[in-house]
Amino acid sequence: MSISIGIHDLSFATTEFVLPHTALAAYNGTEIGKYHVGIGQESMSVPAADEDIVTMGAAAAAPIIARHGTDRIRTVVFATESSIDQAKSAGVYVHSLLGLPSASRVVELKQACYGATAALQFAIGLVRRDPAQQVLVVASDVSKYELDSPGEATQGAAAVAMLVGVGPALMRIEDPSGLFTADVMDFWRPNYREAALVDGQESINAYLQAVEGAWKDYAEQDGRSVDEFAAFCYHQPFTKMAYKAHRHLLNYCGYDTGKDDIARALGQTTAYNSVIGNSYTASLYLGLASLLDQADDLTGRSIGFLSYGSGSVAEFFAGTVVANYREHLRTEENREAITRRRPVDYAGYRALHERSFPADGGDHPTPSQTTGPFRLAALSGHKRIYETR
């Protein structure tokens, strides 16, 4: 008999500041409907000077550690595409800030926005090998595009932490997975650039191609049929992309694509992403958090997941919601993570966007702007210095 492995706990964190899309539209003269309706975005999370993927990742994971302790966690897998170091895993800093045991392995995974799903699958493999252990998966990203570029309105930042183990309290992850990879230059960030490069139309096309390819492989592995799923979670570079993707999947499978059907399948997965913006690796699992926090009882129901990462890699898989999952949700804390953000005006956002550390190895303290449990205090001697409050 196969053991049940999946997501035992899920928590997320986002930034100190938020920029409403009304402020962006007022600055650049865009009709607000292009943001609110066209891409389905209302606001974007903006990192303070003293926060980054590490502080967000640690803040997301801290409530999981507080609830479950550290005794069974022997692995931390950190997924990101906005890495702060070419050698050292951002997860090592998180491991230190959380006080995790030294008898741990810590690694960072990268493949654009798909990385967190790779981390989840790696975690399941480790737990299957040793069911006594749990794996902490952290997905944390800051989405950054050039100022005044088409991608600017889709920016955002967040981290999701998941505890993976046997007898999960939230969701059992099922076999099989449908997989797809294609060498596409739709979105990329060379080492010498802080902001990503994106070919918008190519990225949409590549995403839809990946949806089709991943589903085709899933179906060939004898996966579930479309009508067996209560809802679908998609990677959301902007929330309307999830709608495009689901419509494409339904068309491919020969199903009806009525607005009501699509809204029923996706509507409750977009609430957090629409106000946070694109969080890259964390985006898909913010969609899951949004669904679990809002839906009527999903006990025993299957959820479809389409994870996409530009370049491109995609995976389609299913999860089944387990009994009594609502007792373990963090709905109030999740909403607080969003409502606690302080609005920043356009000038303040622009200053934060343009801010970067000098590369001279000197002492560069950061202004104290955050109120969260962890902060990036300084860069000194090319070393990042973190503090716990």
Residues that are catalytic? 81, 113, 235
Residue 75 and residue 67: Cα distance in Å, rounded? Answer: 17
Residue 157 and residue 45: Cα distance in Å, rounded? Answer: 5
Q: Are 167 and 68 in contact (CB under 8 A)?
A: no
Q: Nearest Cα to 253, choosing from 233, 230, 231, 224?
A: 224
Q: What are the two backbone dihedrals, phi and then psi, of residue 383, each rounded to the nearest 5 degrees?
A: -110, 135
| DSSP E strand stretches across 144-264 | 156-166, 171-173, 178-181, 187-188, 197-198, 229-234
Q: What are the two backbone dihedrals, phi and then psi, of residue 277, each rounded to the nearest 5 degrees?
A: 95, -175
β-strands 302-309, 313-321 pairing: antiparallel
Residue 294 and residue 184: Cα distance in Å, rounded? Answer: 36
Residue 276 and residue 381: Cα distance in Å, rounded? Answer: 33
Residue 257 and residue 297: Cα distance in Å, rounded? Answer: 25
CA–CA distance from 260 to each of 35, 174, 225, 257, 265 (Å)?
22, 28, 19, 8, 9
* Residue 35: other Cβ atoms inside 10 A: 22
Residue 17 and residue 331: Cα distance in Å, rounded? Answer: 20
Q: Which two tokens stand for residue 335?
A: 């909403």
Query: 370-380 burial by CB neighbour count: b if 16+ within 10 A, else e?
Result: bebebbbebbe
Q: Nearest Cα to 187, choosing from 174, 178, 177, 196?
A: 196
